[in-house]
Every structure is written in structure tokens, then in C-alpha cells.
Structure 1
Amino acid sequence: MTVKKALIPAAGLGTRFLPATKSMPKEMLPIIDTPVIHYVVEEAIASGIEDIIIITGRGKRAIEDYFDDSPELEMYLAKKHNSELLKLVRDVSSLVDIHYIRQKEPNGLGDAVLRAENHIGDEPFAVLLGDDIIVNDKPCTAQLIENFEKYGRSTLAVEEVPYEKLSSYGIIKGKELSDSLYMLEDIVEKPSPENAPSNLGAIGRYVFTPEIFDCIKEAGTGVGNEIQLTDGIRVLNRSQIIYACRFKGKRFDTGDRLGYVKSILDFALENENLREDVLEYLREILEAAESPEQGKADIIKDQSVDRITT
């Protein structure tokens, strides 16, 4: 069986980015000029996905609007003969078939996955978290699908997690089969660092067999009194082999403030129209940091010039 459906949970409240996310979905935060979720959808498409379900919640309408047609904007751009921007806008709304299912209240990642059960049916499917961007010539999801097609079993993407961050991830215990592939023995949701079974964490890309739905239901509520996907994976692992794959690529956790800043800098440095200006600005910042007194003098000088000229 091949994987043609994907689920993108995007119903979280985004509390780490308040107050911005009070009225704006965290998945719509821009990486320069493109929302985070756009890159996630593009990864799914590049992995051969034809049908995408986005799990939304109250206050997430901007996601639906973004991937929808925009007649007024298209008419305006056509009138201004701005064919480049017009093509850009139309391309966004014609990426792929996207369906939206609402999660009535935040109740854990496992609950978000369950919302799509009727749409997925008895097919295998991918899950891509809406705040992770992974960059590689071969998409992370495509790497997992390749493993699924080879073994016919659910596969998780994992990477090494810093010690101080272990309590933020589902951490696996696995039997190493190769440099990049493990057979899952256990997975623990947000363990204390001293109790973590390894330093390999699940990072927000999965391919599942449809049996995962019954396993999530059987697991019930877990950490934080929410329905955790990790607990469903543990139940599934009792009856099926599950693989964990150390993916190739660079991951940006845009749900974390520092990760978000890093993603903007990296994407800016990859942009040929921005690269040199950004590098020059970074050099100025570093020089000022290395010589704080000189930086302070420059600020005083600039303020004096402003007073004279005004």
C-alpha cells in the first residue's frame, strides 16, 4: 500500500507566541513572506500526498483563507498587470485538495489525530505537525513513506535531542537496525531527562497504519490529562512492529521562539535577494557586541546628529 493521505494538526493555542497568537494562528507566522504551514503542505505534496486534512480550531480561519481562492486580490493584481504576484497567489490556492476538520477544544495530539478517522478510513496516512519545517532534497515525509512501503509498518521520524530538552519530546527506546533505523521498543512522553530511555525524540513526522486510531482510544488520557499520540503508539507497538527513522535534513522547530528566529535567519541567508544585506547587518551586530563601548559611542553620535538636524 502507498500513502496518499496526510493529516496536519493545527489546532493548538500557540501560547509560546502570545500575544501574537491571540488573534493569529501560530502556523501562519511568516518565515519572511511565507507562513510556516505553507512549507509543511509543500513537504506533503513533494512526498506524493494527494489528499490533506488540516485539523483546525477556533481562531484558525486564517489557515483556510490562506489556501482558498482570493477573487478580490486576484482581480486587483490583474488590474495592476502584476502577473508575477498574481501567479504566486493563484499557485497557493491550487497546491492540493485540502479538507478542514475542527477540534472543538485542545485535548492533545492524539485527540487531533482521532478527528480525522472517518476521512482516513482503512488507509495508511502521514502526520505532519504544523510548526516543524524540515529542509532536505528528499522530504522527511518521503523518507518515512519509503520505509513504510518497504516494511509495511508505522514509522516515526526521530532525531537527537539536547539533554535539557528531553522533557519536551516523546523519547524512544529502540533496537538499532542500521545507522538510521531502529525497531521501536518503547516511547515515553515528556520524561524527566534523568529517566529518558535515550536521547532520540519523535519530532513531528509520522506514517501510521490505520490501527493507530483504535490504539489511541484504548490508551485514553495521559500526560496533562490529554489524549497523547505517544500513548497510542505504545499500544500499537504491542501488536505491530514500529520503526523509528533518523531522517536526513535540517529541522526548524518554529513552535519555539529561538527556533523561529533561527528559521528566519537561515531562510534569509538562502534568499539571493536578502543574503548579502542580512550578512552585512549580522556583521554590524557582531562588531557592536565585541566592542560595546564603541557601539555606545555610535548610538550617542547618531542621537546628537538627530538633534542637530531636527
Structure 2
Amino acid sequence: MNKPIRKAVFPVAGLGTRFLPATKAMPKEMLTVVDRPVIQHVVDEARAAGIEHLVFVTGRNKVVIEDHFDNQFELERTLQERGKTKELEALLRDLPGPGQTSFTRQQNPLGLGHAVWCAREILGNEPFALLLPDMLHHAPVPCLRGMIEAYNETGGNIVGVYQVPQDQTHQYGIVDVEDPSAKVSPIRAMVEKPPRGTAPSDLAISGRYILQPEIFDILAKQEHGAGGEIQLTDAMITLAKTQEFSAYRFDGDIYDCGSKIGFLAANVAYALAREDLAGDFRAALSKLLDR
């Protein structure tokens, strides 16, 4: 029987330089898509998939993320005194329970693989989910929920993928699978940012993973790769020599909130999906576009 996926890792140590000056004093993960921080949307996805423990790999100037997932007694008391019951209930509903969050530091910016390795003592000897906060997955069925369902059937390691234009494959980690049309298919090869024209497929890694704990032993010895960083994809390629990897194809919409266009598009898409906002927002957009 496969060990259950109880814990999820969120690497949130990045500087967010592409959003300066907005991120000079505020973490990029706290930028809002409509009225929820980007990191809250990703945590929502994890909790909807049944994740019990949230592990944040942070860096300097990220304390506000820890505060966001804690009680704000003054705010809660003020809302209660002013009769704002709906707002108070929403805050408490989003709040993880006692002991359900952990925070650890990545002191040096040595890449995604290093960030995952920094969480090893908290994760222990059990499989875990990894969600990149920059990548918002928008669909009726949360991406991680579908991946965990697939994991419960196949075991091993699962990598979320999505289709990208062929002329953009050099910008992503790309996987080659046995059946490109299948929802879940064994992975035959993985390559990080292949040179133009050499990608084995058009299926890019989407920023969602389920990984076995043996990845930590590999990351501990992993040589620095592209950009002088410890690359997670390199470690996964090594692990794939001894363990099964499968791709889970996500067919919803993905917004890269690490880019300005992706972030703006996410705000539009999430606003249009809200019953309380869609009508008025659509009218406002139409007015702007008609100028």
C-alpha cells in the first residue's frame, strides 16, 4: 500500500525581482490575485487535496507569510465588535490548525532543489507534495487532488505537466511520456530547458510534484547545475533510474504569476470566475477595451 501524501512543501524564498518596486518590502507570494495572496490560492489547492501539514521554505523578509497563516487577534476582535461576521468567518476558515504549519529557512539562493532539501528534517521518511507558488492552476478539480488520486493508483513519483507551444519548449522542463494523450502516463525522459528544436515533446513540468523521500539523498550530493543552482530536475533524472515516474496531465489553465503578464491574466481569470464580481468586472473590462 502506498504511503499517504500528508505534507506539502511551498518554496517561498525567492526575491521577486521582476516585480520591483512592489516586492521591495513585500514578498512576491503575498501579491494578491483579486483579494487573496498568491500563496493563499496555492495553499487552498493543497488543502482541497487533503494535505494535513504545510511546510514553507522561506528566506529573509518573508515573516509576513508566517503572520498571514497565524491568528490576528486585534483584527479578529475588531471584526467581531463591528459585526462583520462574514469576514471573520472567512479569515478563520482559511486559518490552518495548530501544528499544521512549519517554516524553515533557505539561507542561500541555491535553487529549487536546495529549497526542497532544506525541508528534509520536517518531511522525514515519507512522500510529499511540492507546489511552486508562482504557478496558479485554475480548474474545477484542483491539480494536486487529481495527482494524489493518480498516486494512490500508481505509487512512485508523479509530475504535473501541461502542453506548451513547440517554439517555447526551451523555456521549460520537458518530459517525454509513453502516451502523450493519456491523463496519466509513465515518463520516459526528462530534460531541463532543452535547446530549441531538441525537446522530446511539448509537455512541460507545471510546478506540481509528488516525490518520494529518496530524493533527499540525491539532493545532498547533487552537483550545481544551470545558473550555479542545485536543480530539482537533475535530481529527479537520477531518481528515475531506480523509481517510477509518471506524468499527470493538467488540462485546466495555468498562470505564471512570476511574470507580469501571467499575474495580470490570473487576476482577470479569477475575477471572471467569481459570481460576486464577474458581471460588473466584465462590464468594466468591456468599457476599457472599447476605448
Return the TM-score normalized by structure 2. 0.94
Instruction: Name the structure 1 match of 2:209.
Output: 206
Tell me if structure 2 keeps the 8 A contact 1:177–1:183. no
Using the TM superposition, give the Cα deviation of residue 94 of structure 1 relative to its aligned residue in structure 2, in angstroms.
Answer: 3.5
Q: Which amino acid aligns with 1:256?
A: S
Q: Is the 8 A contact 2:126 2:212 kept in 1?
A: yes
| CA 95–194 in structure 1, closer or farther in 2 if over 3 Å, else same | farther
What are the residue-to-residue correspondences of 1:142-221 with 2, within 5 Å? Answer: 142-176=145-179, 179-221=182-224
Q: Describe the shift of the 1:13–1:164 C-alpha distance in structure 2 as closer, same or farther (beyond 3 A).
A: farther
Q: 1:286 aligns with which of 283, 286, 289?
A: 289
Structure 2: how far apart are the matches of 1:177 and 1:257? 30
Q: Identify the residue that residue 19 of structure 1 maps to in structure 2.
A: 21
Q: Which runs of 5+ in 2 are unaligned?
A: none
Q: 1:58 to 1:138 in 2, by over 3 A?
A: same
**Separation (CA, whole Å) in 2 of partners of 1:273 and 1:178:** 36
SS at match of 1:240: coil
Kept in 2: contact 1:13–1:106 (CA 8 A): no
Go from structure 1 to structure 2 and tell me whether the alpha carbon gap of 1:118 and 1:142 turns closer, same or farther (over 3 Å shift): same
Is 255-264 or 173-182 further displaced after alignment? Answer: 173-182
Indicate if the aligned counterparts of 2:8 and 2:46 stay in contact, CA closer than 8 A: yes
The equivalences for 1:1-310 within 5 A come to 1-94=3-96, 97-176=100-179, 179-288=182-291
* Conserved 8 A contact 1:216-1:235: no
Q: Distance in 2 between matches of 1:50 and 1:70?
A: 22
Tell me the distance in 1 between the aligned counterparts of 2:97 and 2:142: 17
Using the aligned pairs only, state the percent identity: 40
User: Shift in Å at residue 274 of structure 1?
Assistant: 2.1
Identify the structure with the greater helix proportion: 1
What are structure 1's unaligned runs of at least 5 residues? 289-310
> 3-state SS of the aligned residue for 2:239?
helix
| Greater Rg over alpha carbons, structure | 1
Structure 2 CA distance for partners of 1:45 and 1:286, relative to 1, 3 Å:
same
CA distance in 2: counterparts of 1:62 and 1:204, whole angstroms: 23
RMSD: 1.6
Are 1:11 and 1:103, in contact at CA under 8 Å, matched by a contact in 2? yes
Counterpart Cα distance in 2 of 1:271 and 1:241? 39
Equivalent AA in structure 2 for residue 32 of structure 1 = V
Number of paired residues?
288
